[in-house]
Amino acid sequence: MEKQPRYRPERRYPEAKRQSYTCDVKTCVHCGSGLKSRPNWHAQKTIQTLKGPLFLAGRAKVCTNPECPHCGTRYYASQVLLLSLPSSTYGLDVLAYIGWRHEHDQRQFVEIQRELNQKGIEINERKRRQVISPIPGFIGSNQ
Ligand SMILES: [Zn+2]
């Protein structure tokens, strides 16, 4: 059997601005001891925003106090979630734009999709579900 090449995500937006965040909580909420930064990123992804592509990375911290009943608890960089939902590759500004155009301006998804494409945001039928499912007005909707 032929060996499958290892999956490597292609860098589609090499020009993307890069922003990284470390969890801003300094002490464990359970024991009060200082938190340590984790060696790896808990989030690393490129999202599309209305201001262009953005590479996001988040580093968590962890409680390492062996006396703490919650030793090992991770504290994530919540700033990442202010910009994009966990499983989404679009910025919250794009989701807000779609929701507003749909709910307030009564636009169909295809029209909004065309507008976003004109703004340089790649959004196609395959991504449609990912994009509209978190937007309340689109739940169960087929437009
Ligand atoms: Zn602790």
Single pTM value for the model: 0.77
CA of 70 to the centre of ligand 1 (A): 5
CA of 34 to the centre of ligand 1 (A): 8
Name residues with Cβ closer than 5 Å to ligand 1, which is an ion.
Answer: 28, 30-31, 63, 65, 68
CA of 104 to the centre of ligand 1 (A): 46
pLDDT digits (tens, 9 = 90+) for 64-98: 999 999 999 999 999 999 999 988 899 999 999 99
Q: What is the 3-state secondary structure (H, E, C) of the chain?
A: CCCCCCCCCCCCCCCCEEEEEECCCCECCCCCCECEEEEEEEEEEEEEECCEEEEEEEEEEECCCCCCCCCCCEECCCHHHHHCCCCCCECHHHHHHHHHHHHCCCCCHHHHHHHHHHCCCCCCHHHHHHHHCCCHHHCCCCC
pLDDT digits (tens, 9 = 90+) for 104-123: 999 998 999 999 999 999 88
